[in-house]
Amino acid sequence: MDLHIALGPIDWLIIAIYFIFILGIGLYLKRFADTGEGFFLGGRSNSAWVAGLAFLSANLGALELLGWTGGTVKYGMYAAHFYWIGAIPAMIFLGLYMMPFYYNSRIHSVPGYLKLRFDERTRILNAISFAIMTVLMSGINLYAMALVLRTFLGWNWDACMWASAMTVACYVTMGGLLSAIFTEIVQFFLIWFGLFLVAILGFVEIGGPTEVMARMPETMTHLWANSGSASANAMEVTFSGIILGLGFVLSFGYWTTDFLVVQRAFSSKDLRSARLTPILASFFKMALPIIVIGAGLVAYALVHDPASGFALLRGADGGPDYNSALPLLIQRYYPTGLVGLGVTALLAGFMAGQAGNVTAFNTVWTYDIYRAVFNKDASDEHLVWVGRVTTVVGILLSVATAYITMQFETIMDYVQAIFSWVNAPLFATMLLGMFWRRCTSAGAFWGLLAGMVVSFLLFLLPRLGLLDPSLFTFADSPSDMTRNLWQAVWAWVTTFGLTVAISLVTTGKSDAELTGLVKGLTPADTTSEKTGLLGSPGFWAIISLAVLIALNIYFW
């Protein structure tokens, strides 16, 4: 089943203005991106609000919009875990405890920290794995953008993908991270203005949120009440998988070590702003389910109402394409003119995620692979040139990986698998490196490598019929999401345990070498003391946690 929607002149005008505006930002900011500091780190001049909105917007791509709207149709309220327990604690931990180590070391990237804390081989191992991950994630955003263009405009699939890819390549190549950050802020507000009404109009049609929830099975209407047994909820995961796999390993692994989002905090003007960046972003993150989860609940109610005439598109395997839910809702509720705004909002979200992946990829490749391995004496000007070339190469690789994304029923199943391969073991390495002086370079390298291998094998072997997934998930018939959560847990446990064991029998660095990189050897943040209570990262962290607890109790 395909859906092609004829857009009116005003719809086309809105879309055209958006693309021209985004390219204009890239062209204007090119003058400020001729140095490594400007191109890769946005000049380190942004306020906490600017960096915070960019921090969240870099994550607000296909993963959030298509992925979790479709994920809600499949899993119900359980999808909200990925916004609340699966994000907020980790964002607060990053701001309060890990950002001082990152920011004070004046690094360009997360792998750069691994070099200073451990050694070059650990840095390169993480840089290569992260580069591969960002290309795969970038492919997800390209796929999602092309899906929207195909759904609304009826364009050829390949034409949709190349049009999307080249637009992102142009403005990121010109303006680097600074261009990405400013366009991400524009995209953040476009997403809210363009998509907020989808869920609202859906609730109005059906009769309100209470009526929507009443149309859903009990297994899909709670966050925790049905988590005692895997068979009692649509995601088929217990509270232990949610807390350990998602709330701890995957969440902390992504929000505290993924350079895609952490890079935005690096652009802050001082340490206090850098620490506030993820904490301020956490409030907006908690509000996003209004758009995404709300729209998904509406789509579920409509799909299961024969009289609604609403049906999801079919995927490559003939089953429902959950990722088509949000575009179809826009088509259902928005009139001419508003459709153009809705399409623009979707494209803005995907381009924000795409730009985030591309800027992270070009920085890691340029500083942590190219300069470290191939040209240690490269000039600043040469590195900026390499970064621009890498942007184009990254886009081309993303086009190739977009076709992989088409094979998955929901984007989120694919995304969580990728995170479990890279971010889950890396979080164990970073945690030990920042909070345990005794952690050694040998322990970090071999522990990280082993964790990545274990995670990938737990993903691959069951699909080849060589391993029963119930052996490591503690469930008789685990879903793909359950497998992803538990393979992340085992990756973290492997890395943590092996790193500790090897560190105890090998020699680490001296305290002098670890100054500014490990807790107890890093200067305290004195900038927050001068701003009073309302300027303190700790104060806003407490408020954020209180709101998180209230949301979980309300939707228990």
Distance CA 464, CA 457 (A): 10
Tokens of 293: 């989860």
* CA-CA-CA-CA dihedral for 166, 170, 172, 175, to nearest 10: -170
Across the strands, what pairs with 320? 314
Tokens of 66: 């298509």
Distance CA 340, CA 353 (A): 20
Residue 33, pLDDT above cutoff 60: no
Residue 448, pLDDT above cutoff 90: yes
More confident residue, 252 or 105: 252
Whether 346 and 334 have beta carbons less than 8 Å apart is answered as no
In this predicted model, what pLDDT tens digit does every residue of 228-253 receive, in sequence order?
777 777 777 778 778 887 788 878 87
Q: What percent of the chain has pLDDT over 70?
A: 79
What pLDDT is recorded for position 492?
92
Distance CA 55, CA 272 (A): 15
Across the strands, what pairs with 314? 320
Whether 72 and 300 have beta carbons less than 8 Å apart is answered as yes
What pLDDT is recorded for position 315?
62
Across the strands, what pairs with 268? 46
Distance CA 469, CA 349 (A): 35
Residue (of 392, 325, 321, 350) closest to 141 by Cα position: 350
Q: What percent of the chain has pLDDT over 90?
A: 10
**Cα Rg of the chain, angstroms:** 22
- Helices (H), ranges, 267-379: 271-287, 292-303, 325-333, 338-363
Band the pLDDT of 275: cuts 50, 70, 90: confident
Distance CA 346, CA 60 (A): 10
Tell me the domains of the chain and their CATH numbers: 9-554 (1.20.1730.10)
Residue (of 450, 491, 397) closest to 133 by Cα position: 397
Residue 111, pLDDT above cutoff 70: yes
Whether 102 and 113 have beta carbons less than 8 Å apart is answered as yes
* CA-CA-CA-CA dihedral for 400, 402, 404, 409, to nearest 10: -170
Average pLDDT, the chain: 78
What is the 8-class DSSP label of residue 66? I
What is the 8-class DSSP label of residue 32? G
What pLDDT is recorded for position 498?
96
What pLDDT is recorded for position 244?
80
Distance CA 370, CA 365 (A): 6
Whether 285 and 381 have beta carbons less than 8 Å apart is answered as no
More confident residue, 259 or 248: 248
Tokens of 11: 């719809």
Specify the range with the lowest mean pLDDT, choosing from 59-73, 118-132, 509-523, 531-545. 59-73
What is the arithmetic mean of pLDDT over 191-217? 84
In this predicted model, what pLDDT tens digit does every residue of 125-176 receive, in sequence order?
888 888 888 777 777 777 777 766 776 666 666 777 777 677 666 655 655 5
Distance CA 77, CA 74 (A): 10
Helix (H, G, I), strand (E, B) or coil at 320: strand
What pLDDT is recorded for position 318?
65
What pLDDT is recorded for position 42?
47
What is the arithmetic mean of pLDDT over 86-107? 82
Beta-carbon contacts of 400 under 8 Å, excluding residues fewer than 6 positions away, are: 139
Across the strands, what pairs with 46? 268
In this predicted model, what pLDDT tens digit does every residue of 535-554 receive, in sequence order?
788 888 999 999 999 988 98
Helix (H, G, I), strand (E, B) or coil at 268: strand
Band the pLDDT of 500: cuts 50, 70, 90: very high
Whether 392 and 169 have beta carbons less than 8 Å apart is answered as yes
- Helices (H), ranges, 105-156: 110-117, 120-153
Read off the amino acid at residue 225. A
In this predicted model, what pLDDT tens digit does every residue of 428-440 receive, in sequence order?
998 898 889 999 9
The length of the chain is 556
Tokens of 336: 């001419």
Which span out of 139-143, 183-187, 189-193, 280-284 was modeled with the highest average pLDDT? 280-284
What pLDDT is recorded for position 543?
93
Which span out of 47-51, 85-89, 316-320, 447-451 was modeled with the highest average pLDDT? 447-451
CB atoms within 10 A of CB 206: 19
More confident residue, 14 or 6: 14
Across the strands, what pairs with 409? none
Q: The whole model's pTM is what? A: 0.75
Give the side-chain half-sphere CA count within 13 A for 542: 6
In this predicted model, what pLDDT tens digit does every residue of 340-394 receive, in sequence order?
777 777 777 666 667 667 777 777 788 778 887 788 787 777 877 777 787 778 7
Residue 4, pLDDT above cutoff 60: no
Distance CA 364, CA 369 (A): 7
In this predicted model, what pLDDT tens digit does every residue of 280-336 receive, in sequence order?
888 988 888 888 888 888 888 888 888 777 777 666 566 677 777 888 888 788 887
Distance CA 283, CA 152 (A): 32
What is the arithmetic mean of pLDDT over 78-91? 87
Read off the amino acid at residue 391. T
Residue (of 92, 113, 96) closest to 433 by Cα position: 113
Residue given tokens 């994550």 in the structure block = 59
Specify the range with the lowest mean pLDDT, choosing from 115-119, 181-185, 420-424, 513-517. 181-185
What is the arithmetic mean of pLDDT over 476-481? 74
Tokens of 24: 């204009």
